[in-house]
Structure 1
Amino acid sequence: MKVCRKKSIAAVVVLLTMMILAACGTDKGKDSGDKASNTKEDKPKFISIVTGGTGGTYYPLGGSFAKIISDETGIQTNAEVSGASAENMKLLDNEEAELAFSQTDIAAYAIEGKLMFESSKITNVQAIGTLYPETIQIVTTKKSGIKSVADLKNKKVSVGAPGSGTVANAEQILEVHGMTFADIQKQDLSFDESTAGLQDGTIDAAFVTAGTPTGAVESLAATEDVVIIPIEQDKIEALIKKYPYYTTDEVASGVYGLEEKVKTVAVQAMLVVRSDLSEAVVYDITKAIFENTNQVTHAKGKLIMAEKALNGVGIQVHPGAQKYFDEKGIKAE
């Protein structure tokens, strides 16, 4: 009886052990399956790039980028109209888009919680890389008679769409000229609205921060004699000293029918991404864009190159983008 009882107990122990091992194996398999499922979910089926107004440079570039990403990664990508830089940073923060165009200065303000982001610091955005200089163009027409920044006083001047980086540029340029928005009749218009206003005479001048040539200004030049108001060298130096993310730039002769080049300043356009996108996905996106710039239809495509993408970024680079640049041996100059 004792022997039989011992054998029964032993059998029960073996059976329990097998059940426990089987359960562990099932759990392990379940964990593996979950991880595999999560890996698949790391690659989204659809992403959005928020750009700017249809009359600027971001929107057509965004269309080219969306096609490149869709073709090269298999992720269906759409370019969407927006209020540009500042709004774009907030759209990423609210998880309403995955990629965005932004000026380097505005991206830095967002991450640091300065100026328009004092009450809404952005914490979930990182850089893919810089793209090209964004020229600050103070646009008017010959018939306005405006020839200098000082001439803008008491005039109706568009400073860009609400939430755009152009607004900050306008404010800072006026500042180094001893002026504020109170010295002008400020209008908050998109690039298309600004050039329409210049054409029909409802405004006198407009700040446009975008790669040149800018579509909206080109359209204006088709019917009006466009004037780009120059910024004098001493004011450029004062601006760069206080706000070092600016660089000296110019609008070339021939652009918009200009007879001579016009001295001005620029910030950099950059592509930013939500930091919660996986390293693998952002690596693929970065590679797709910088290895297919020949497919960018806008003239600015010629200026977009991986070798310069880390220059002037100003915020943390996403690990996926950094992996790509490391593989290419690219560092900031």
Structure 2
Amino acid sequence: MKKRNWLVLLLSVLIMSAILIACGESDSSSENSGETEEETETTESAETDTEEETAGNEEVEEEGTGESTIEFLSMLTGGTSGTYYPLGGEMASIISDATGVQTDALSSNASADNVVALQNGEAELAFVQTDVMDNAVQGINAFDGNPVDNVQAIGSLYPETIQIVTKKDAGITSVEDLAGKKVSVGAPGSGTYINAEQILEIHDMSMDDIEAQNLDFSESTGGIQDGNIDAAFITSGTPTGAVEGLAATVDVAIVPIEEDKIDALIEQYPFYAKDTIAAGTYGLEEDVITVAVLAMLAVTDNIPEDLGYEMTKAIYENAEPMAHDKSSYITIDSALDGIGIELHPGAKKYFDEQGVTQE
């Protein structure tokens, strides 16, 4: 009987132990399950935060992917003995100070070569004759079959006078007298060269009627001084440094263009205008009637609008302090004279604010 009771008691203990063990495992499973869910939520939250942070970084990167800030500008001018180079140096300094963008004035072969350099992305700014720029956009003359479509205008600057320079005792008093003479006409394709072609054309002449020499301004005046050439076409604002230098050593004459030929030239090529070289210039005893085109500043179309605006504002509001004689011609009122191509958006914005519009 005692043995039987002991077995019953042992069995009861075993059953109770089994029940207690089962309950403990259930509670442990429940606790572990809770910890796993919490860890999962934390992991998902961390992943969500990471995704949001990544999205935020992508947004910052996207906002920062605009055009890079321009730090340098190259301004092509002309030969060191012409007007473009010294005036360009002053304008480059003004642009640098006003915009904070370092602008360097570089000597070059002038108009036509300058336009080609802009077209090829080799420079950002350049001095150009209005007639050459017109030819470039139309794809004629030096730009035949190769029209330029990435260059825009900042504005015109001053008249560029076509000066046919010779010695007073050379016996050359008319364009027709150039026939058979050694005459400098500038680099092929340059603004001076094209002017020479067109003026000869109006006089029923061509390059074949002269011994054309492709010299720059200083070479031209040096050649006249030394007697190696008889005359030179020089398209530049007056007084031109190279001609002043020549006048200091010999008596200079400027060949006039007759009124009827001027009228015919302007009718055929409207970008020309009648011009006068005043008596006293180069020691001249009386006024000389000739023609002129306009010098302009051209720019590539990838210059940002705000920079174009600041450059234009700087040039036309700081021309008066410039030391060069031609600075007096650089005014807002005449800034769009002779401009036949599209204005840079920044320049247009500035001139619109000033009430000056392109015709």
| TM category, shorter | over 0.9
Q: Which residue of 2 aligns with 1:203?
A: 229
Q: Which moved more, 1:191-200 or 1:161-170?
A: 161-170
Contact 1:101/1:272, CA 8 A, preserved across alignment: yes
1:140-179 → structure 2 map (5 Å cutoff): 140-179=166-205
1:94 counterpart = 2:120: yes
Q: Residue 288 of structure 1: SS of its match in structure 2?
A: helix
Q: Which residue of 1 aligns with 2:10?
A: none
1:34-53 → structure 2 map (5 Å cutoff): 34-35=65-66, 38=67, 41-42=68-69, 44-53=70-79
- Residue by residue over 1:153-185, the C-alpha shift from the partner in whole angstroms, topping out at 9 and shown as x without a partner, is 000011112331000000000001000000000
Aligned-pair CA distance for 1:10: 7.2
1:314 counterpart = 2:340: yes
1:59 counterpart = 2:85: yes
Q: Which residue of 2 aligns with 1:24?
A: 55
Q: Residue 64 of structure 2: SS of its match in structure 1?
A: helix
1:124 counterpart = 2:139: no
Largest Rg, 1 or 2: 2
When normalised by structure 1's length, the TM-score is 0.93
Distance 1:176 1:131 in 2: 27
Structure 2 spans left out of the alignment, 5+ residues: 1-28
2:291 alignment partner AA: V
Query: Which one of 325, 346, 350 corresponds to residue 299 of structure 1?
Result: 325
Q: Which residue of 1 aligns with 2:311?
A: 285
Aligned-pair CA distance for 1:80: 0.8
Distance 1:53 1:7 in 2: 79
2:288 alignment partner AA: V
Q: Which residue of 2 aligns with 1:114?
A: 140
Aligned-pair CA distance for 1:34: 3.2
Aligned-pair CA distance for 1:33: 3.4
Aligned-pair CA distance for 1:272: 0.5
Q: Residue 34 of structure 1: SS of its match in structure 2?
A: coil
2:54 alignment partner AA: A
When normalised by structure 2's length, the TM-score is 0.86
Distance 1:91 1:10 in 2: 63
Aligned-pair CA distance for 1:305: 0.7
1:181-220 → structure 2 map (5 Å cutoff): 181-220=207-246
- Residue by residue over 1:248-303, the C-alpha shift from the partner in whole angstroms, topping out at 9 and shown as x without a partner, is 11111111111111111111000001110111111111111111112321100011
Distance 2:165 2:319 in 1: 29
Q: Residue 356 of structure 2: SS of its match in structure 1?
A: coil
Q: Which residue of 2 aligns with 1:225?
A: 251
1:326 counterpart = 2:352: yes
Q: Which residue of 1 aligns with 2:286?
A: 260
Q: Residue 78 of structure 2: SS of its match in structure 1?
A: coil
Contact 1:308/1:332, CA 8 A, preserved across alignment: no
2:217 alignment partner AA: F
Q: Which residue of 2 aligns with 1:104?
A: 130
Distance 2:43 2:53 in 1: 15
Aligned-pair CA distance for 1:306: 1.6
Aligned-pair CA distance for 1:124: 1.3
Aligned-pair CA distance for 1:237: 0.8
Q: Which residue of 2 aligns with 1:240?
A: 266
2:298 alignment partner AA: V
Aligned-pair CA distance for 1:11: 7.0
Aligned-pair CA distance for 1:189: 0.6
Distance 1:56 1:241 in 2: 28
Contact 1:83/1:163, CA 8 A, preserved across alignment: no
Q: Which moved more, 1:99-108 or 1:159-168?
A: 159-168
Inter-CA distance 86–15: structure 2 relative to 1 (3 Å threshold): same
1:80 alignment partner AA: L
Q: Residue 169 of structure 2: SS of its match in structure 1?
A: helix
Aligned-pair CA distance for 1:57: 0.6
Distance 2:251 2:323 in 1: 27
Aligned-pair CA distance for 1:9: 7.9
- Residue by residue over 1:168-226, the C-alpha shift from the partner in whole angstroms, topping out at 9 and shown as x without a partner, is 00000000100000000000110110000110111011101010111111111111111
Aligned-pair CA distance for 1:8: 8.4
